[in-house]
Chains A and B, each alone.
Chain A
Amino acid sequence: MDEHEYRAASVESERIFFHSHDRLIRMQAILARTWALKHLGDYNQAFENLRRASPRDLPPELQYLIHHERTLLMYLREDWEGVLAESARLNNLVQDHGWRLLTGYLPILALLELERWDESGTKMKAYLNELGVPASLPSSPPDHISPRKAVLLSTFIPGSGQIYAGKTGEGLGSAGLQLAALGWGAYNVYNGFYATALFTGGGLFQAFYFGGIDRAEYHAVGRNRKAAEDYKRAVTEWFLEQIEPVLIKKRQTLSDSPFSQ
């Protein structure tokens, strides 16, 4: 289906909602419009649309679908805390364990995004076990280096903070430049050119010294961020690869699958 068809689906679903007086049909129309808007990539509008649906007193499969879509849209809108809250609500309200499993991967991915590594790892293993997928996690959570330690290192041993953050070349370069600036200052003092020593030697040294400290912190923070993003991406891709075929099969084989309604 192309964009035009999804837009048409959204309009026609809203038309059903508008003209119908049957609450069940109206709720189904809201869900259908949510799916159309989701495919159009308009997650905010899809979420706002779904807020009009009240799951109360609806058949269990519709109740489940509304909570499932809410959880999924919160994930797509990168509202990680919202995913955890909504999936907890779903687990309380939906009795069917098979259905709950169909949404169970979303809070795990949200925990991963929140960088709650241990919790996400434990829940991921348990979830894979429940699905009957024999697998162990592809890698362990990234090591976190301390930006404060990098700053302290560069403060007392110029260049060492950058080396600690993984930028060996920059660290050695920074130390060399600071040494050269100090040397130039000392040479000028020795020859009696005090203003030159202060403003060129001293000026350059302070620029390289404080710049080196800032760079050490910048690299430490950047390294942590990159390592976390790489880990998240790798584990998410791996996890989805593991569960996708199983979930598709489960959706089809669950005799009362809400997705087949």
Chain B
Amino acid sequence: MSPSRTAHLPLFVFLLMFFSSGLLEASERGEIRFIRHLMEQQFWGDALFAIEKFENEHHQHLERETQLRDSLHFWAGWSAYNRMMLPDAIGRFQKISETHPGYLQAAFYTFYLRTYEASVHGDQKELLASKEELKLTGFSREIHSELQSFQLAGMNLLLRDFDGFEYHSGAFTGNFFAMAHEQDHLGDYARELKKADGKSPFAAALMSAAIPGSGKIYAGRHGAGISSFLQVAVFGGIFAESLIRAGPGHPRTWATGSAFGLFYVSNIWGSAIAVRITQEEIYEEVDQRILFDLHIPLRSVFR
């Protein structure tokens, strides 16, 4: 190789490196624009696929590019959330670093999704852990602190911790339209839950022993209460008729008396169970409404 050619070699290598890195960045940018297009079109399945492919192909590069890596986690989390792949969404959102612009949104969605998953699967431990973590998180903007109090109040209701609910709902300022309605709703739910919580199966049993069916009415099942009363009354009437006309020693009296006794006792037992069942139904319904209301402000605040 002639000296003049070797002199140009470093320049050639530099230019090659410069243009090749430029080309790589251009292709990356094109791919990111494409992923954003998939997200805008709400093609969540395709977006997830494209993001994972991009991450696999640019693994080393992403180790250095924190911002881009976080954005990919955010988009993947959002796509997974929209496809109802909630554990995947939680996993993605949790990987986003605090410096990323979408961090706060991801953090609040993580807490909400963990709460949702824990509530649906009856995992009190996870619900408690999620609440404690949210409690320890600090937010600088007032709207985020308000949202934190709102979420914590809701989590306490799901945990049936009414003191915790009072504490966090006491911090509501009511200054933010994005969650004002839902804050009021939480107060209604707390009252509903307390009312359901205060009913005693023992009291229901006692009431039904005194007046058949009244325990079921106390439990909130008015139709069942009236029906039970009529059933016991009918069997009581038949038993009384047998007693009067056939006498106490007659097999007919024994049979109708047994039937009456069976209905009377089962009505007492049923009233105690009715309190528990009604409570469970109210809890389930109110929990669904709490989860729904916890979700709405997230959509409004992080529009």
Residues of A within 8 A of B237 (CB): 195, 199
| A11:B49 contact, CB within 8 angstroms | yes
Q: Is the CB of B238 within 8 A of A199?
A: yes
Knowing A18-B37, A196-B256, the reply to whether A7 touches B241 (Cβ < 8 A) is no
Binding stretch for chain A, among B11-19, B38-46, B167-175: B38-46
Q: Could you tell me if B241 and A11 are in contact, using CB atoms closer than 8 angstroms?
A: no
Contact A14-B43, Cβ < 8 Å, known A195-B238, A199-B237 = yes
* Residue of B50, B238, B242 touching A11 (CB-CB under 8 A): B50
Q: Tell me if A193 counts as interface (CB < 8 A to partner B).
A: yes
Chain B residues with CB below 8 A from A193, complex form:
241-242, 245, 252
Does B129 have its Cβ within 8 Å of any Cβ on chain A?
no
B interface residue count range (under 10 / 10 to 19 / 20 to 34 / 35 or more): 20 to 34
CB contact between B46 and one of A11, A200, A203 (< 8 Å): that residue: A11
Interface 1/0s, chain B 236-263, versus A by CB < 8 A? 0110111001000000100010000000
Picked from B45, B50, B238, the residue with its CB within 8 Å of the CB of A42 is B45
C-alpha gap A38/B105 in the complex (Å): 34
A16 CB, min distance to chain B CBs, angstroms: 11
Q: Are B241 and A14 in contact (CB under 8 A)?
A: no
B245 touching A192 by the CB < 8 A rule? yes
> Which residues of chain A from 174 to 225 have a CB within 8 Å of any chain B CB?
192-196, 199-200, 203
Q: Are A8 and B38 in contact (CB under 8 A)?
A: no
Residue A10 interfacial (CB < 8 Å): yes
- Leading 6 A-B pairs by shortest Cβ distance: A195-B241, A199-B234, A195-B237, A11-B46, A7-B49, A196-B238
Interface size band for A: 10 to 19
B34 at the interface (CB under 8 A from A): yes
B interface residues, Cβ below 8 angstroms from A: 30, 34, 37-38, 41, 43, 45-46, 49-50, 53, 234, 237-238, 240-242, 245, 252, 256
Q: Does A196 lie within 8 Å of B242, measured CB to CB?
A: yes
Interface string of A5-42 (1 = CB under 8 A from B): 00110110011001100000000000000000000101
**Chain B contacts of A40 at CB under 8 A?**
45
Which residues of the partner chain A approach B34 to less than 8 Å between Cβ atoms?
14-15, 18-19
In the complex, A10→B47 CA distance in Å?
10
Nearest CB in chain A: distance from B44 CB, A: 9
A194 and B241 within 8 A (CB):
yes
* Residues of chain B with a CB closer than 8 A to A8's CB: 49
- Whether A200 lies near B238 (C-beta < 8 A) is yes
Complex interface: chain A residues within 8 A of B30 (CB): 19
B38 surroundings in chain A (CB, below 8 A): 11, 14
Residues of chain B lying within 8 A (CB to CB) of residue A203: 234
User: In whole angstroms, how far apart are the Cα atoms of A52 and B53 in the complex?
Assistant: 26
Provide the residues of chain B in CB contact with A18, threshold 8 Å.
34, 37
Residues of B within 8 Å of A45, CB to CB, are 43, 45
Within the assembled complex, what's the spacing in Å between the Cα atoms of A200 and B38? 69
Q: How far is the CA of A79 from the CA of B252 in the complex (A)?
A: 63
Q: List 12 A-B contacts (CB under 8 A).
A: A8-B49, A10-B45, A11-B46, A11-B50, A11-B53, A14-B37, A19-B34, A45-B45, A192-B245, A193-B245, A195-B240, A195-B241
A63 to B70, CA, bound (A): 43
- The answer to whether B46 touches A7 (Cβ under 8 A) is yes
